Amino acid sequence: MSGLRVLVTAGSSRFGALVVTALERREEIATVVAVDDHAPGAPFARAEFVRLGADLVQLPRIVRGADVDVVVDVRAAAAVSPLDERSIVGHAAVSERIATACTEPGSPVGRLVVVGSVHRMGWGRDLPAFLTEDVEPPAAPRGALAGALAAIERSAADARDRRPGLGLTTVRLADPVGPASSGILQAADRLPLLPTVLGFDPPVQVVHEEDAAAAVAHVVGLGLDGPYLVAADGTLALSEALRILGRPHAPVLPPWGTGVLAGVLARAGLGGAHELAGQLRRGRGIDNRRLKATGFAYRATSREALRAAAGVRRRRRVLHPGVPAPYEPEVEAFLRYSPSARGPGAEPEAAEEAGIGALEGDALLQLLPSLDPEALRALRAHEEAGPARRRVLDEIDLLLHRA
């Protein structure tokens, strides 16, 4: 497949922007269009951004006008990352709009890729401790988040049934790890002491957020069909994962069932309380072999992803992940090029920074794997004292841990 034209929903969210960036890097992707109800935090390299209303009423017109081949719906993954079920609960109208754009007469869309979460499986007692793509998700999972994820997947399946020629790919991610992690790791950040279940030390399996985004781009680029689980190699005990992150915990919760645990966590102000309770009590492993059999290679194991996240957290503890300042093209154009801009925010007469600091983030990321550990450490010190770009620092930490 070549020359694909791809549209990404929730393109201004943190995870959506990572997916857009990963798609931009693939040769078989000719065009990337990102849509959202607010502007992205930074401009994309070659993708185009279109601001739509929260209900995506104009989405079918964008799909027809851009002659889109593949629609990548990352709303669910973008909401799961901060464990905010409120942002996807009640989005039936949006799901129907996406389905209409893919199934209406004359629609150019050949494939719909739904990016969700393994939380779709819920935490029922009949589920195996090790998930594979062959495990059927429950028809009516408990918990608001799992129910919302199920509704999005059902809408996509209905769209495929309405138009038999439409390809459907379902990607379910393990909890992404990055500057703003999800699941237990986010709960550990938001609470001074994470309460765990007495007598239980469940397995934890995660995925680095950039690996997750690259996996979505891989699925799109190869036109893969069906369900895929995305999780890094290796599982860790919960206590070990928290130790890597440097977060304290205490086994003080009684093992009385997920309902009671969910109530305790909800009173602590945590979103996705039912899912968190299931993780604390049961945990699970995730089989990632199907995706790897297609040629995808994870850059970080679960342990390496957690260590990289720990380095980020030492520099900046993310208690309540904030929303980055939006990228406003008109503001940037005024500050950079207008003769009237003379304040400290404008740099029309500033000399170009020489050396490696002048490289754009993407160009520097491509250079990093070729450096030895000593050079990486020196570059990290230079980057931290200068631009301090989080993606660059995170990538250096990951490479140093793997060295």
Single-letter amino acid code for the residue at 395: E
Q: Is 111 helix (H, G, I), strand (E, B) or coil?
A: strand
On the question of pLDDT at 343 being above 70, the answer is no
Bigger pLDDT: 363 vs 102: 102
Are the beta carbons of 156 and 168 closer than 8 angstroms?
A: yes
Tokens of 100: 């209409």
On the question of pLDDT at 239 being above 80, the answer is yes
**Does some domain include residue 66?**
yes
**Does some domain include residue 327?**
no
Single-letter amino acid code for the residue at 203: P
Mean pLDDT over residues 27-48, rounded? 91
Radius of gyration (Cα) for the chain, nearest Å? 21
Are the beta carbons of 375 and 396 closer than 8 angstroms?
A: no
- Read off the CATH number of the domain in which 165 is found: 3.40.50.720
Nearest to 369 by CA among 360, 382, 379: 379
Q: What percent of the chain has pLDDT over 90?
A: 44
Bigger pLDDT: 181 vs 199: 199
What pLDDT shows up at residue 332?
A: 58
Question: Which helix (DSSP H) or strand (DSSP E) does residue 31 occupy?
Answer: strand 29-36
Q: Kindly give, in sequence order, each residue whose CB lies less than 8 Å from that of residue 374, ignoring residues fewer than 6 positions away.
A: none
What pLDDT shows up at residue 65?
A: 95
What pLDDT shows up at residue 278?
A: 83
Give the bridge partners for 203, in sequence order. 237
**Does some domain include residue 134?**
yes
What pLDDT shows up at residue 317?
A: 45
Model confidence band, residue 135 (pLDDT cutoffs 50, 70, 90): very high
Nearest to 9 by CA among 86, 70, 83: 70
Bigger pLDDT: 18 vs 249: 18
On the question of pLDDT at 124 being above 70, the answer is yes
Separation of alpha carbons 318 and 312, rounded Å: 9
Unique residue bearing structure tokens 């034209």: 5
On the question of pLDDT at 347 being above 80, the answer is no
Tokens of 119: 């939380």
Model confidence band, residue 153 (pLDDT cutoffs 50, 70, 90): very high
Model confidence band, residue 377 (pLDDT cutoffs 50, 70, 90): confident
Are the beta carbons of 109 and 265 closer than 8 angstroms?
A: no
On the question of pLDDT at 38 being above 80, the answer is yes
**Does some domain include residue 317?**
no
What pLDDT shows up at residue 84?
A: 58
Tokens of 160: 């495929």
On the question of pLDDT at 323 being above 70, the answer is no
Strands 206-208 and 175-177: parallel
Bigger pLDDT: 55 vs 286: 286
Tokens of 150: 């199920």
**Does some domain include residue 344?**
no
Nearest to 337 by CA among 39, 50, 387, 329: 329
Bigger pLDDT: 358 vs 277: 277
Are the beta carbons of 171 and 224 closer than 8 angstroms?
A: no
Separation of alpha carbons 24 and 271, rounded Å: 32
Mean pLDDT over residues 357-368, rounded? 60
pLDDT digits (tens, 9 = 90+) for 326-342: 556 566 566 655 666 65
pLDDT digits (tens, 9 = 90+) for 194-212: 888 888 899 999 999 999 9
Model confidence band, residue 363 (pLDDT cutoffs 50, 70, 90): low
Separation of alpha carbons 348 and 189, rounded Å: 41
Give the bridge partners for 116, in sequence order. 172
Q: Which residues span the domain enclosing 83?
A: 4-180+203-236+285-300
Domain count, the chain: 1
Give the bridge partners for 71, in sequence order. 7, 112
Separation of alpha carbons 383 and 377, rounded Å: 10
Unique residue bearing structure tokens 């250096």: 396
Q: What percent of the chain has pLDDT over 70?
A: 78
Highest mean pLDDT pick, 159-173, 175-189, 342-356: 159-173
Bigger pLDDT: 383 vs 219: 219
Mean pLDDT over residues 345-349, rounded? 44
Model confidence band, residue 355 (pLDDT cutoffs 50, 70, 90): very low
Lateral strand order in the sheet of 4-8: 48-51, 29-36, 4-8, 70-73, 111-117, 167-173, 226-230
**Does some domain include residue 69?**
yes
| Average pLDDT of the chain to the nearest whole number | 82
CA quadruple 329, 21, 18, 145: dihedral sign? positive
Unique residue bearing structure tokens 């968190």: 276
